[in-house]
Chains A and B, each alone.
Chain A
Amino acid sequence: MNSTFTGIEIGKRSIMAHTQGMSTIGHNLGNAAVDGYNRQRIEMKAFDPIYMPGLNRAETAGQLGQGVTTSSIERVHDEILEGRIIKQGNGEGYWKSRDKYILMMEQVYNEPDETSVRGLMDQFWDSWQELSMYPEQTSARHAVLERGKSLINGIHRRYEGLSDIRDMLEQDIQGTVQRVNSILTEVSGINEQIVKIEAMGDNPNDLLDQRDRLVKELSSLVNITVSGRDPDEFTIHTAGMHLLQGRVAHYLSAEPNTQNEGYSDVVWRESGEGFIPQGGELAGYLELRDGDVREEIQGLDMMTINFTDMVNSIHRDGYGKNGKTGQDFFTEWPFVNNVSGNYDRSGDGEFDSTYLFRITGNNSLDPQQQIGLEGTISLSGRQQNVQIDYNATDTVEEVIHRINTSGAEVTARLDRNGRLNLKASPAADVDNPDFVIRHVEDSGQFLAGYSGVLTEPGEAGAYDWGQADAVTALRGEGVDYSVAPLSHPAGWTELNPAIAEDPASIAAGLGKNGETAEPGNGDAALAIAQLRNGDVMVGKYKGFSDYFSQAVAKVGLKGEAAERAYETEKEIMQELETMKDSISGVNIDEELSQMIKFQHGYAAASRYISEVNKMLDTIINRMGV
């Protein structure tokens, strides 16, 4: 038998359900403009009808419906699309960081313009040409001095610009690690709440939205994949490791690395093991800081040290107006200040290495002459020594070319007097110091007797940097070498203060036969000027023009690639987000028409209740009175 108040109950249920529907609509409309909001839909279903089969079943037609109830509130959400958006976020974040920073690097160059380092070097060169025309004049020397100062300032500025970029990247890396950690903390908190709510059988839609937003932000910072397969444990993976497992977060940390000039390595906080992100902004920043920008600085350093070393070599041979000779034109602080290049690398108070930048042989060689010797030269390379073979029929020029194209971190050239120069290039590996020759060995006589670099062939005569006083392996008293710079030459090179005080010391001429140069001789100035155009081996580039032009092209091409890639990633992201919007976004008209449905439903339910009320009123108040 039905209860008297069943009707009202049914009406009441309908009103409740429709009110909830309206609330949901109201919620959707309110959040329509919120970023990342997924619209919510209320699912209504019929209330359990009566009567279920049983012994106390009433003898009447069944089953009688008992109204409506809300079964769940779902958000309209495509999980797979979300996964694609997260993946896209990895790529977009990476290229965004590259695009931004490479643009900064490009601007440091100031090309093609007269005020770039290249333009200043051309001006410097020009002043030496003038001096070679008028070696007797002091005014020409003043010009050399001033142009030299401008050039050094230009180099310093470019160095500082690049160094500042590296510092900014460091800050960004630290900031990003902090942000990642704070996102992980937030998400783990949300996960905890979500698990509790889901255990009650509810859908924590808004929390899920919030979590999605955080995960999307995280995806632009690091490369992640998300796995919600286990509903109790929402997992975020990165490169095969867990970043977050349910409530447990594995945090990252930025630890300073002394081998890398104090810049931080990103490690897992718990294990201390290194973490190398493969995508996202963090990967971009790390690659830029330790790859692209570091290489630019190395290139600038290499250009500077080759330039100053070569100018100094010639200048030392020349004579100033006041007859002074043996003066360096450029100096640098700090330098390894031990004359044999001895250095204490491990910091224990004892010399344990030799830091030489350039070794020059004793003998004057003719580039076209066939050497008539054979053997294998061994020079330091990136991971291990590089072997270079030579045969009897090779000319000196060919052997030099082979050394320069071998990939060793040592380059060779013949200087003005035909002697063999071996110069160190920047080290590709962060653990090795830049501009230090680490190993020179020859199984034959080319480096030993022929060019006069080593004392003997074979392992016994090899030069190795891993001991103090390694200069004893070099041949003879007259071996000319230069000591390596301790820190970035581009940042610390200066004009020799002695020259700056007395411009008359600037050498213009070369003497002959050990005598002072004649006042009208401008050969030293001319030789210095010719460094600008000559094949002087600036690292692996043939000359300064090559270095400048290649440096510009490299950065420009990187920038072009970054810009294009970033544009493409943005377009793709835009497409994906539009698709998501299409599925999950709120359409006002749709909501309003739903609202009309619920409004009518509500009105109808109210009407029904008043009708039932009237019926009850008839029975209770009017029957039999």
Chain B
Amino acid sequence: MERISSNMNINDMQYQLEKRNKSMYELNNKMSTQSKISNLRDDPLAAAHSTRYLSKITHLERYTKNAERVKSEHRVAEGYMQSANSVLHRIRELAVQGGNDTYTKSDKQAMGQEINQLLNELVEIGNARNPDGTTMFGGDNTATTPYRVLSGNVPNADGHVITEVEYRGSIKPSVVEIGEGNYVKKHFAGNEVFWAEEQQVFSGTNAQNYVVANDTSIQIDGEEIQLNSGDNIHNIIAKINDSNAQVKAGLDPVNNSLTLRTTSPHQMFLEDGQGGNVLQDLGVITEIGKPPFNIAEDAKASGGSLFDMVIHLRDRLYAGDTIDIGGSALKGIDMAQDKLVSSISELGAQDERLQVAMRRINSEIPELQEQNSKEVDLDVTKAITELKRLEQAHQAALGAAGRMMQPTLLDFLR
């Protein structure tokens, strides 16, 4: 520009001062919050990433907490299961001894007494509760006591002894999330842990001509199996076998009736879906009663729990029946122990999974925190240097501005 008016210098200086003031103010703000982002516009994409990181970190911390809690609960449960195992061990010893004909009848009765006591101990273990009062082995029915004891008279026993131990808990353990889509069981279901033999149910009703009337469903061990209208017995069997339930269905060649057999020892819970009655019609269950007490009267059920095995052994000892003691009773105890040990090792495997998950999360959290920090935290050295530079420039500008009052012609005219 050729011509400079008197105001130009001043206007310009004001404008630049304003700009610099703004930069210094913003920088000061950032330094006091230690964050690069005092407004979203300062780095919109970093802010967007940061929201994801912060959320993810919260989630991971929750997963760690969940995993740790489940781990300590499992420890306690494992302790109980080990305890039950050593009780079974002692019972087995007694079984082996009792199968030996060298012992007298009264000796065997005494053994029976000991086993009765040990049975009570096992029931106590089965009904164990967590410190917060919830049951350990009742599945997700954590309020009711899992095992209900019926007592009565048994030949040669002293007074009332336990005759039956019924499982009243649920079969479904709750799950807890320890990672995205990663779940771990929180409870244990007594119908699995304290079971001994494969269970089998043979219906007495001829199912050859049976056809499903409407779309409905049946529930086996909590698994819902859909049936369509028009399905015959073979379709039903195929669907049961295809499903996730650990149960194998078949057709009894003699009666043409439905048979169900567990593929790993546990007590089956059979139910009809809402509004349906297929299993009732097939003679497997009755209308009244809830599983597992709803097996139909003319259906044959076999297979027993750990308690059943111990009761059987004890009763044989009371009766002095050597052959059975060393034979089927001992076999029963062995099967119970097998199942218990496999439950313990399943626990161990779950525990290891928990460890792995926790280790991974614990290394992921600091990494995420670092990434977040890179996005939003202020680089303090850079900021301070920048601030210093601005301050210097500001000083220089103010100094120049101070000299803005130049002498004019007026000063030189007389």
Contacts and interface: CB of A to CB of B under 8 A. Distances in A.
Nearest to A580: B5
Interface string B259-299: 00000000000010110000000000000000000000000
B8 A106 contact: no
A517 B219 CA distance: 16
Contact of B142 (A111, A520, A523): A520
Nearest to A114: B54
B174 A522 contact: yes
A522 B184 CA distance: 13
B140 A518 contact: yes
Nearest to B222: A512
Given A513-B219, A577-B11, A552 B408 contact: no
Interface centre among B40, B59, B170 (most CB of A within 10 A): B40
A133 B3 contact: no
B331 interface: no
A550 B141 contact: no
A592 interface: yes
Contacts of A227: none
B55 interface: yes
A555 B222 CA distance: 49
B373 to A, nearest CB: 11
B37 A112 contact: yes
20 contacts: A102-B41, A103-B41, A106-B39, A112-B37, A112-B54, A118-B54, A123-B58, A133-B176, A136-B143, A513-B273, A518-B172, A519-B140, A520-B138, A520-B170, A521-B174, A545-B55, A548-B55, A586-B6, A589-B409, A592-B410
A581 B66 contact: no
Contacts of B41: 102-103, 106, 556-560, 562-563
A550 B40 CA distance: 12
Contacts of B45: 553, 556-557
A549 interface: yes
Contact of A585 (B7, B408, B413): B7
Question: Which secondary structure dominates chain B's binding surface?
Answer: mixed
B236 to A, nearest CB: 18
A578 B11 contact: yes
Given A526-B175, A549-B49, A582 B44 contact: no
Contacts of B410: 588, 592
Contact of A136 (B50, B58, B142, B273): B142
A548 B51 contact: yes
B177 A520 contact: no
A574 interface: yes
A109 interface: yes
Contact of A32 (B7, B49, B134, B140): B7
Contacts of B40: 106, 109, 111, 552, 555-556, 559
Interface in A573-625: 574, 577-579, 581-589, 592-593, 596
Contacts of B174: 132, 135, 509, 520-523
A443 B245 CA distance: 40
A592 B70 CA distance: 92
A593 B47 contact: no
Contacts of B339: none
Interface of B: 1-8, 11-12, 15, 37, 39-45, 47-52, 54-55, 58-59, 62, 66, 69-70, 132-135, 138-143, 170, 172, 174-177, 180, 186-187, 219, 222, 224, 271, 273-274, 376, 408-410, 413
Contacts of B66: 129, 133
4 A-B pairs with the lowest CB-CB distances in the bound complex, closest first = A556-B44, A585-B5, A559-B41, A520-B142
A549 B52 contact: yes
A549 B413 CA distance: 69
A316 B139 CA distance: 23
Contacts of A560: 41-42, 44
A582 B376 contact: no
B214 to A, nearest CB: 15
B62 A520 contact: no
A529 interface: yes
A119 interface: yes
A601 to B, nearest CB: 16
B180 A533 contact: yes
A375 to B, nearest CB: 25
Nearest to B44: A556
Given A134-B132, A136-B134, A553-B44, A587 B142 contact: no
B142 A552 contact: no
Contacts of A574: 12, 15
Nearest to B58: A122
A520 B140 contact: yes
Interface centre among B15, B41, B69, B133 (most CB of A within 10 A): B41
A268 B45 CA distance: 42
Contacts, number: 199
B48 A589 contact: no
A374 B102 CA distance: 82
B347 to A, nearest CB: 18
A278 interface: no
B413 A592 contact: yes
Given A32-B6, A106-B41, A578-B8, A129 B177 contact: yes
B274 A593 contact: no
Given A556-B43, A556-B45, A589-B6, 10 more contacts: A112-B376, A118-B55, A136-B134, A518-B142, A519-B143, A520-B141, A530-B177, A554-B44, A579-B1, A581-B11
Contact of A592 (B4, B133, B408): B408
Contacts of A112: 37, 47, 50-51, 54, 376
Contact of A556 (B7, B48, B141, B376): B48
Nearest to B55: A122
A123 B57 CA distance: 12
A241 interface: no
Contacts of B133: 136
Contacts of B52: 545, 548-549
B39 A107 contact: yes
Interface centre among B45, B54, B222 (most CB of A within 10 A): B54
A548 B52 CA distance: 8
B48 A553 contact: yes
A109 B48 CA distance: 12
A505 to B, nearest CB: 17
Contacts of B7: 32-33, 581, 585-586
Contacts of A552: 40, 44, 47-48, 51
A367 to B, nearest CB: 15
B413 A596 contact: yes
Interface centre among A116, A554, A589 (most CB of B within 10 A): A589
A556 B69 CA distance: 40
Given A136-B143, A520-B142, A589 B44 contact: no
Interface in A131-160: 132-137
Given A557-B44, A582-B1, A119 B54 contact: yes
A217 interface: no
A349 interface: no
A556 B47 contact: yes
A587 B3 contact: yes
A129 B54 CA distance: 17
Nearest to B61: A126
Nearest to A116: B51
A278 B343 CA distance: 75
Contacts of A32: 6-7
Interface string A529-559: 1101100000000000100111011111111
A576 to B, nearest CB: 12
Interface in A97-124: 102-103, 106-107, 109, 111-112, 114, 116, 118-119, 122-123
Contacts of B70: 133
A54 interface: no
B404 to A, nearest CB: 13
Interface string A496-522: 000000000000010011100111111
Contacts of A518: 139-143, 170, 172
B403 to A, nearest CB: 16
